[in-house]
Structure 1
Amino acid sequence: MKIRLPLLLLIVALAMTVTAAFLAGRWYLSQPIKPEATTPLLLDFKGGATARSVTNQVTVHFQSGHSAVSYRLSQIFADINHLQAGLYEIQGQQSWFDIWKMLNQGREKTFSVTLVEGLTLQQWLAQLSEQPYLIDKTSELNESELRQKLGIEEASAEGVLLPETYSYRAYTTDISILKQAYISMQNAVQHAWEERSDRCPVSSPYELLILASIIEKETGLADERPLVASVFANRLATGMRLQSDPTTIYGIDNFDGNLTRAHLREKTAYNTYRINGLPPTPIAMPGKASIEAAANPVRSPYYYFVADKSGGHVFSETLKEHQQAVRRYQLNQE
C-alpha cells in the first residue's frame, strides 16, 4: 500500500513535533533553576511529602518557572517516586535533574561543629546546644546519666572526649556526636599510650589524659607542650607538687577569674598546690598534641615555668631563677 505524500508529511511533522517537545522538556529540566540566586533553599523533605511539594517550594523560593510545568515535566522525564526524606540544600545553579538526583540518592546537607581543645565538658555542651538542626538530649541528663548514655567507664566525662570537627545531618542528637568523640579519644589515647617513651611519668592511659589536660590548659603553643610536659614529668619523678593554676581553678566553684592566695591555700581535690601528684580527673578536653606531649615529654632540666606575657613561657631550672623570672614578667620588677 502506498502512503500518500500529504499523510507522509503529516507523520513526519508529528514525529518532529514529538521529538522537539521531548528535547524541549529535557532541556528545560537540565537548565539551572535561577543561576543568579545567592540564597539557597533549605528543603526539609519529610517522610510522606510529595514531589509536587518540592516543585512548589523551589519555584516559590527562587521565584522562577511554573510549579505545575516543572512537576509535569519531572513526572515524564525524571525519577520522582523514590525520594528520600532529609534536609537538602538547593542552590539556584542546580537544575531539576540535579535536584531529583540529590533527593533520590539522599545526599542531605551536612553540618559541622568544631569542639575545641582546652574547653570543659560544660562549655562543649553549651556549644552543642546552639548548633542548628542538632537535637539536644544532654540538657536533661545529669553527669552520671550522660556517662551511662555514652558508655563512659571513667570516673568523669571530663577529658575523655576528643576535640575535633564532627559532621552531622539534620536531626542528629548531640549524644551521637559525643559518642563519636569518646570512641575517637579512646583510639587516640591508646595509640599514644602504646607509643609512650620511658620518660612518660604516669602509670595508666587515664592518668595520661589527666596530665595531657593540664598541659593543654597551661600552654597553647605547639612547640612548648613537650617542654611543659617535661616540667611536670620532672616534678612527678622527684615528688614535687605540680602547682598548676589551671587545676586549682577547675576545683573552685563559680570561679570569678581572680585566683587569690586564699584559693591556693584551700585544700581541694584539684588544688595541686596542696595535693601530691595528679588531680583525680582531667580538667579539660586535651587535644592529640597535648596527649602526645604527655606520653613523650622531652628530656629537660626544667622544674619551673612562668608566663612571659607574650603568649609563651620562660622555663627555669632552679627556684631562684624562677623567682627572678616571676619578678621580671609577672611583677614587672627588673
Structure 2
Amino acid sequence: MKKIRFTFLFVIAALAISAVLVFVSGRWYLSQPIQGESATPLLLDFRGGESARTVTAKVTEHFQGGHPLVSYRISQVFADIDHLQAGLYEIHGQQSWFDIWKVLSQGREKTFTVTLVEGLTFNQWLAQLKEQPYLVSKSSDLNDSELKQTLGIKEPAIEGVLLPETYSYRAYTTDISILKQAYLSMQTVLSEAWEQRSDRCPVDSPYELLILASIIEKETGLADERPLVASVFANRLEIGMRLQSDPTTIYGIEDFDGNLTRAHLREKTAYNTYRINGLPPTPIAMPGKASIEAAANPVRSPYYYFVADKSGGHVFSETLEEHQQAVRRYQLNQE
C-alpha cells in the first residue's frame, strides 16, 4: 500500500514538474526574438475584430513560414484580443511575442513622416502628399474655395500660408490633417516674426511679409544670403523701384516651360514685377521660417541689385553699372 502511494505521489510530482517545465519553457520561448535583426519587418494592419489566432498566424507566416500549431498555441496564451488597439504596427524580428503584444495593447502604432520643403508651391506639396504611404488624400475632392474653408484659411490664397516642416502621421490619417497643422504652425511663426520685425521691414501687414518672404525663398537657398536679398528688396520698395524678380514673373506664367524670355518679361501680369509696382498679390511659394525672419529683419546694405554667380550664390551691386558688369561676367561670360 505504501508502495502504491509512493508511486502515485511520484507520478503527481513528475507531472507537476513537467507542467512547470512546460510553463517555464513556454514563457522562455515567448520572451525570445521571433527571428532576428536581419528579418524584414512586418507591417501588421490590425483593424480590430480579429482573433488572436489571426494575428499570430500573420506574424508566424511572415517570420517563420507559417506554423499552424505554433500559431494556435501562442494564440491560446494571448486569447484576450479585446484589449488590443486597432492600427498599423511595425513588427521586427528581434521582438519577442511579449514585445509584440505589448506594442499592440498599448497602441504604439507605426508613425510616418513627410517633409514639406520650403520654396515649393502648394500644388507641388499636394502631389507629394498623394505619394505618401498610408496617407488618405481628401484635398483632391475639394476645390480651392472649399479647401480654404476646410483648413480655416482667411488669407486670399492657400499659397504661402502653410509652414514647411517635417510632419508625423499615423496610417489612414488624411492629408487635410497635415495641412491644418501646417497652417496653424505658420500662423504661430508669422505672428512671432511680425511682432519682432525691425524698423527696416518694408511691408505693412503680416500677409505682405509672407509675400516678400516667398520671393526671398525663391531667390536664394543660402542662409547667409537671405538678409542681403531681403535688404535689396527693402531698398527697392523704399524708393518705389520695381522688384524685377524672375521667380515672381515665372509664377504668373501658365504652363511655364523653363525658358524665361524677353517676351515673358514684357507681358503685364499680376505677378510680373518687371511691369508692376510693389509686391505681387499673393506669395509665390511656401516660405520657410528663415526667409520670413529675413523679410521681417532685413540688414542695412547699399545694394539694389544682385545676380547669380553660377556657384550657388549671388553677386550684389550698388549701382546699375556695377550690376551690368556682373551680368556680363557671370551670365553672359563676358569679362
Name the TM-score class by shorter chain. Answer: over 0.9
The residue type equivalent to 2:163 in the other structure is: L
2:332 matched residue in structure 1: 331
Preserved contact between residue 80 and residue 100 of structure 1 (Cα < 8 Å): no
Segments of 5+ residues of structure 2 without an aligned counterpart are none
Structure 2 counterparts to residues 153-232 of structure 1, below 5 A: 153-232=154-233
Conservation of the 8 A alpha-carbon contact between 1:110 and 1:168: yes
3-state DSSP of counterpart to 1:116:
coil
Deviations 1:250-303 (A, max 9, x none): 001001111111111111111111111110100000001101100111111100
- Cα shift at 1:36: 5.2
Indicate conservation of the 8 Å contact 1:229/1:298, yes or no.
Answer: yes
CA distance in 1, matches of 2:39, 2:292: 43
Change (3 A) 1:76 1:47: closer
Amino acid paired to 1:170: A
- Opposite residue 198 of structure 1, the aligned amino acid is D
Q: Offset at 1:73?
A: 3.5
Q: Distance in 1 between matches of 2:133 and 2:53?
A: 27
Asked if the contact 1:251/1:269 (under 8 Å) is kept, the reply is yes
Q: Is the 8 A contact 1:314 1:325 kept in 2?
A: yes
Distance 1:77 1:326 in 2: 73
Taking the aligned partners of 2:65 and 2:195, their CA distance within structure 1 comes to: 60
Does the Cα contact within 8 Å between 2:163 and 2:286 map onto a contact in 1? yes
- In the TM superposition, what is the alpha-carbon distance from 1:65 to its structure 2 partner? 6.5
Give the conservation status (yes or no) of the 8 Å contact 2:115–2:164.
yes
Letter in 2 for 1:144: S
TM-score w.r.t. the length of structure 1 is 0.96
> Counterpart of 2:269 in 1: which secondary structure?
coil
Displacement of 1:68 after TM fit? 3.4
Q: Secondary structure at the match of 2:166?
A: strand
What's the secondary structure of 1:52's corresponding residue?
A: helix
User: d(CA) in 2 for partners of 1:36 and 1:255?
Assistant: 49
Aligned length: 333
Query: Relative to 1, partners in 2 of residues 1:261 and 1:65: Cα closer, same or farther, differing over 3 Å?
Result: closer
Cα shift at 1:50: 1.8
Separation in 2, partners of 1:122, 1:249: 15
Contact conserved, 2:163 with 2:183, CA < 8 A, in 1?
Answer: yes
Matched residue type, 1:203: D
**What secondary structure, in the 3-state scheme, does the structure 1 residue paired with 2:35 have?**
coil
Q: CA RMSD in A?
A: 1.6
1:306 has 2:307 as partner = yes
Q: What does 1:20-35 correspond to in 2, within 5 Å?
A: 20-35=21-36
Identity %: 81
The secondary structure found in structure 2 opposite 1:59 is helix
Deviation at 1:72, TM superposition (A): 2.6
Tell me by how many angstroms 1:15 deviates. Answer: 2.2
Amino acid at match of 1:169: R
Q: Which secondary structure does the structure 1 equivalent of 2:139 belong to?
A: coil
Distance 1:307 1:195 in 2: 30
CA distance in 2, matches of 1:27, 1:8: 28
Counterparts of 1:109 and 1:330 in 2: how far apart (Å)? 50
Instruction: Using structure 2 for the length normalisation, give the TM-score.
Output: 0.95
1:36-86 deviation per Cα after TM superposition (whole angstroms, max 9, x unaligned)? 543111111112122111111111111257343344344336754311111
Contact map agreement 1:162 1:286 (CA 8 A) in 2: yes
